Amino acid sequence: MTSLSCAIRDCLLTGDKRGKVFATRKLVRDWRQGKLDFTFDCAMPQRPEWPENLDLRLPRDMPRRGKGGSEKGRIALWHALAHIEFVAIDLALDMAGRFGESMGQGFVSDFLSVAADEAMHFALLERKLDSLGSTYGALPAHDGLWSAAQDTAHDVAARLAIVPMVLEARGLDVTPATLERVRAQGDENGAKILKRILDDEIRHVAFGSKHFREICSARGENPPESWQKLVKTHFSGGLKPPFNDSARSAAGLSRDFYAGIV
């Protein structure tokens, strides 16, 4: 049998955009069908492979998106979202491959299902870009997202605190307004894609908070307090209200986590 960790590593090291989606779907199918051995003989790479020629820039060097209603503005929006989902595939894969051995098979199943969702989200957004005459890789993309993974590679609690519970939770806050804007522009298909993403992301944040709480209880720590400490150490951006309290609480992220931190 193929080793789970080596199969995950192969997906992370697939740079081609469609190749990564295809490889991730196959990996998740193989895992669900019991075709992968729960062994951790392959180390995860420091950085995954991304499409060649992707123009990665620091967030401050990203071109301004302009007004949302223009064709150019719309393409920039879908491109930015496609990039977030593309990186999210690797964040979920790395979570399962890096921490799966200590966290167990249920954890791996949860985060591989997240990886499959992210691959689907990316594929939907890439199709959207194609329909607008563009493609993923046509515009610059920001390089801030993977640094969250590198900063937290040493500790699964820190990784869970930052990736699902800060970054993906931020998606819950901002997506409803984007969805309404897109719908107001008459783009019902775009609104549907965002609704699908929003629903799935609640589940992703919920996996994060579930496993985070389990770790805290094993370590005898108070979950909101320990989360706040980790966020202060590993997330320099600061949390920005307004928060989508109902989506956050559906994902197990109650106000006592983030109320005291802003």
Rule CB under 5 A: which residues touch Fe ion? 85, 88, 118, 121, 168, 201, 204
Which residue, 163 or 216, is less far from Fe ion as judged by CB?
A: 163
User: Minimum distance from CB of 167 to Fe ion (Å)?
Assistant: 9
Which residue, 7 or 81, is less far from Fe ion as judged by CB?
A: 81
Which residue, 88 or 161, is less far from Fe ion as judged by CB?
A: 88
**How far is residue 197's CA from residue 166's CA, in Å, rounded to a whole number?**
17
User: Minimum distance from CB of 1 to Fe ion (Å)?
Assistant: 29
User: Minimum distance from CB of 126 to Fe ion (Å)?
Assistant: 13
H-only helix segments in 71-104: 71-103
DSSP state of 47: S
User: Minimum distance from CB of 200 to Fe ion (Å)?
Assistant: 6
Our CA dihedral for 236, 95, 241, 206, rounded to 10 degrees, sits at -150
Q: Which of 164, 76, 156, 50 has the alpha carbon at shortest distance from 115?
A: 164
Q: What are phi and psi of 7, to 5 degrees?
A: -65, -40
Which residue, 111 or 227, is less far from Fe ion as judged by CB?
A: 111
Q: For the chain, where are the E strands, in sequence order?
A: 2-3, 36-37, 56-57, 141-142
User: Minimum distance from CB of 224 to Fe ion (Å)?
Assistant: 22
Which residue, 118 or 126, is less far from Fe ion as judged by CB?
A: 118
Which residue, 40 or 211, is less far from Fe ion as judged by CB?
A: 211
User: Minimum distance from CB of 163 to Fe ion (Å)?
Assistant: 9
**How far is residue 218's CA from residue 235's CA, in Å, rounded to a whole number?**
24
Beta bridge partners of 141: 56
CB count in 10 Å sphere of residue 116: 21
Which residue, 85 or 90, is less far from Fe ion as judged by CB?
A: 85
User: Minimum distance from CB of 81 to Fe ion (Å)?
Assistant: 9
Q: What CA–CA distances, in Å, run from 100 to 117, 124, 130, 205?
A: 18, 28, 36, 18
Q: How many residues does the chain have?
A: 262
Q: Which of 71, 259, 256, 95 has the alpha carbon at shortest distance from 168?
A: 95
